[in-house]
Amino acid sequence: MSRTSGENVQGVETVGRVIAGLGATAGVLVWVPRAAFSIDGGFEGHARDLSVIYVDLPLILLGGILIPLSAWTLTRRWARRPWVAALVALAALALGLGGLIEWWTPRQDPDPGYRGGL
């Protein structure tokens, strides 16, 4: 293996790591505003649901890492060009985040029947 080939492989691995980090960061950025009400709980903590921290956040992080990284790896084996693999990985990340926004909706307001007070 020549020196340029080894440097190229290391550069490709670095791009894969950057894409995985970008996916994790994007997942957290989508998670934070949607989970804020569940963590705070609204008025007097009535609707507090900490499962968004213990269950939802790890799953979103795992998906944010694995979806673009899997797309990167599969496309990299098929296309042999890093820029094509990067575009496919970013498209997979965008579709994953779009699916997350559509599917995952933690509680945003108090219960409809909750009026508080008397």
pLDDT the model gives residue 29: 93
Residue of 114, 70, 112 lying closest to 91 (CA atoms): 70
pLDDT band at 118 (very low <50, low <70, confident <90, very high): very low
Q: Which of 13-27, 39-53, 86-100 has the lowest mean pLDDT?
A: 39-53
Cα 59 off chain centre by = 9
Q: Judge contact between 38 and 106, C-beta under 8 A.
A: yes
In whole angstroms, what is the distance from residue 54 CA to residue 71 CA? 27
For residue 98, the number of C-alpha atoms closer than 13 Å in the C-beta half-sphere is 6
pLDDT band at 23 (very low <50, low <70, confident <90, very high): very high
pLDDT (tens digit per residue) in 92-109: 999 999 988 888 877 666
